[in-house]
């Protein structure tokens, strides 16, 4: 009986106008976005390779005895684009294109998105198609599953034939879901074939399992919105009212709530900006340099003038001034480093706290969980950003040990020995196991939404008066 009802529901959806809309969306959006974004990835990869090549041409050695402006970038750590960004661009275009290493700390290069006006209109990728377009279509497939039959009077006739209510509702859910996911999977398969034809490394061990994970998460997310639509349909008797409520819930669940969570977090847990921290470090170093210059000027004034009243610095006098300046410079360098580290720790605590609050509030909707899982799988999310900046911090510590700590600001004798600038390390790739561990909360939330909403729909339908 259940199979008969499912077949009936499948035929009902196939003959409807909403199925035509679904086919058009699948055939046009999925292959088109994958193909277009892969071409964009290849262009970003070429830009990255050119930038790295240009940086390697520059001088790789430096004399610690030579004056060095504290704001000069002696080396750069570039962010390599990931091929999985064709599915979800995430933070890829918002992250700095490189991290510059200066004596004042780490500077950030301009992100990619500032170079294109198209970003004002938003990014079209697989994540957007699933999270926004298909979530709406899933609701349109189910908003009148029960309400439409109740309004037309067919629900009373159907259930009068000793048909269990659970079988009736299961047929609605399963039939609609099958009709929905088959075109979606076929269009996705066609899009993957186009990607492979263009050169996308789908068969690599680090690529294929992640793409498979994206497909499974997308199917689960679509199932959540099928459950939402079913709940709406069981609670309302009128199809027009159900449609209005469906659109309202979709707007809040997909467009508003994920953004409001982070807006609220800025008021609940305010934090400094990275630029303000950098400027504060620069002001601190200027103060220390002024203090060192004042100490040096005092020592200079202690040198007795010659017959013409000129104070000439050289030879033994220069050596003595350098020796006397070393304790002052070491003291100021230590004070600067301690205060800079304190600023960094405070900034990191504030930003992490603000993000945690924003994530917690945004997870009230399944769309946020989909975004977090997808960007983790495609290595364009929070985990990638954390790895990128942690690599930059480790690289800065290496440069500080090998070069910055050996630079003498105030000296009259230059050293002949040069120090080779340490080359930047590669940004590590998070393993699939670690990615799944980081996404466990969001996966469980999607499962929770699917189970709870389906249960609510069944309980309401069992108790409703036909």
Question: Lowest mean pLDDT: which of 78-92, 134-148, 332-346, 363-377?
Answer: 332-346
Reported as a pLDDT band with limits 50, 70 and 90, residue 75 is: confident
User: What's the mean per-residue pLDDT of the chain?
Assistant: 85
Beta bridge partners of 291: none
The answer to whether residues 364 and 423 touch, using CB atoms and an 8 Å cutoff, is no
**Coil, strand or helix: which one is 419?**
strand
Q: How far apart are alpha carbons 308 and 74 in whole angstroms?
A: 43
pLDDT number for residue 272:
80
**Coil, strand or helix: which one is 95?**
coil
The answer to whether residues 93 and 381 touch, using CB atoms and an 8 Å cutoff, is no
* H or E stretch at 108: strand 105-108
Average pLDDT over residues 343-364: 88
Q: Which residue's structure tokens are 């930038």?
A: 51
Average pLDDT over residues 408-431: 69
CA distances from 98 to 115, 132, 267, 343 (A): 15, 31, 30, 22
205 vs 405, higher pLDDT: 205
Query: Among 392, 296, 277, 289, which Cα is nearest to 336's?
Result: 289
Reported as a pLDDT band with limits 50, 70 and 90, residue 312 is: low
List the structure tokens of 418.
Answer: 């040069």
Pairing outcome for strands 61-62 and 419-420: antiparallel
Q: Give the pLDDT confidence of 211-229 residue by residue, as tens digits.
A: 999 999 999 999 999 999 9
Percent of the chain with pLDDT over 70: 88
Please give the backbone phi and psi of residue 236, each rounded to the nearest 5 degrees, phi first: -115, 150
The pTM of this model reads 0.83
382 vs 274, higher pLDDT: 382
Query: Among 465, 6, 462, which Cα is nearest to 237's?
Result: 465
Count how many Cα atoms sit within 13 Å of the Cα of residue 80 in the half-sphere of its side chain: 12
154 vs 228, higher pLDDT: 228
Assess whether pLDDT exceeds 90 at residue 295.
Answer: no
Average pLDDT over residues 230-249: 92
Assess whether pLDDT exceeds 60 at residue 282.
Answer: yes
Burial 211-224, CB ≥16 within 10 A → b, else e? bebbbebbebbbbb
The answer to whether residues 378 and 90 touch, using CB atoms and an 8 Å cutoff, is yes
Question: Lowest mean pLDDT: which of 100-109, 190-199, 438-447?
Answer: 100-109
CA-based max dimension of the chain: 122
Choose the most confident range, by mean pLDDT, from 49-53, 181-185, 311-315, 414-418. Answer: 181-185
pLDDT number for residue 412:
44
Percent of the chain with pLDDT over 90: 36
Question: Lowest mean pLDDT: which of 296-305, 353-362, 367-376?
Answer: 296-305
What does the DSSP 8-state code read for residue 75?
A: E
pLDDT number for residue 336:
81
Beta bridge partners of 61: 420
């Amino acid at each position: 009986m259940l199979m008969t009802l499912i077949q009936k529901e499948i035929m009902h959806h196939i003959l409807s106008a909403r199925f035509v809309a679904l086919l058009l969306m699948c055939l046009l959006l999925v292959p088109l976005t994958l193909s277009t974004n892969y071409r964009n990835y290849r262009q970003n990869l070429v830009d990255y390779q050119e930038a790295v090549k240009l940086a390697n041409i520059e001088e790789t050695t430096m004399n610690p005895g030579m004056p060095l402006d504290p704001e000069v970038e002696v080396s750069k750590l570039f962010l390599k684009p990931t091929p999985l960004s064709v599915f979800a661009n995430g933070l890829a275009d918002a992250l700095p294109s490189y991290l510059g290493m200066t004596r004042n700390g780490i500077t950030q290069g301009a992100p990619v998105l500032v170079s294109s006006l198209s970003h004002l209109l938003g990014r079209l990728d697989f994540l957007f198609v699933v999270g926004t377009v298909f979530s709406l279509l899933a609701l349109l497939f189910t908003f009148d599953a029960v309400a439409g039959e109740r309004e037309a009077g067919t629900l009373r006739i159907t259930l009068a034939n000793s048909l269990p209510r659970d079988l009736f509702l299961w047929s609605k859910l399963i039939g609609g879901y099958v009709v929905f996911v088959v075109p979606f999977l076929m269009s996705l398969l066609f899009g993957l074939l186009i990607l492979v034809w263009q050169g996308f490394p789908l068969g690599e061990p680090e690529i294929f399992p992640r793409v498979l994970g994206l497909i499974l998460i997308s199917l689960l997310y679509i199932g959540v919105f099928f459950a939402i639509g079913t709940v709406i349909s069981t609670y309302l008797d009128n199809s027009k009212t159900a449609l209005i409520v469906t659109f309202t819930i979709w707007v809040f669940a997909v467009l508003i709530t994920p953004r409001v969570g982070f807006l609220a977090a800025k008021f609940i847990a305010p934090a400094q900006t990275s630029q303000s921290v950098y400027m504060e470090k620069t002001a601190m170093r200027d103060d220390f340099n002024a203090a060192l210059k004042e100490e040096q000027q005092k020592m200079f004034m202690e040198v007795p003038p010659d017959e013409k009243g000129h104070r000439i610095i050289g030879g033994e006098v220069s050596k003595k001034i350098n020796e006397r300046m070393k304790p002052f410079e070491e003291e100021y360098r230590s004070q600067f480093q301690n205060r800079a580290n304190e600023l960094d720790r405070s900034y990191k605590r504030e930003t992490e706290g603000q993000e945690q609050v924003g994530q917690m509030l945004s997870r009230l909707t399944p769309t946020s969980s989909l975004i977090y899982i997808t960007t983790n799988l495609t290595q364009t999310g929070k985990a990638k950003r954390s790895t990128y900046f942690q690599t930059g911090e480790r690289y800065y510590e290496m440069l500080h040990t090998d070069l910055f700590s050996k630079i003498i600001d105030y000296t009259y004798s230059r050293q002949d020995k040069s120090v080779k600038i340490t080359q930047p390390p590669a940004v590590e790739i998070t393993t699939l196991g670690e990615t799944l561990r980081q996404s466990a909360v969001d996966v469980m939330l999607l499962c929770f939404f699917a189970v709870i909403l389906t249960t609510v729909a069944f309980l309401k339908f069992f108790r409703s008066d036909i």
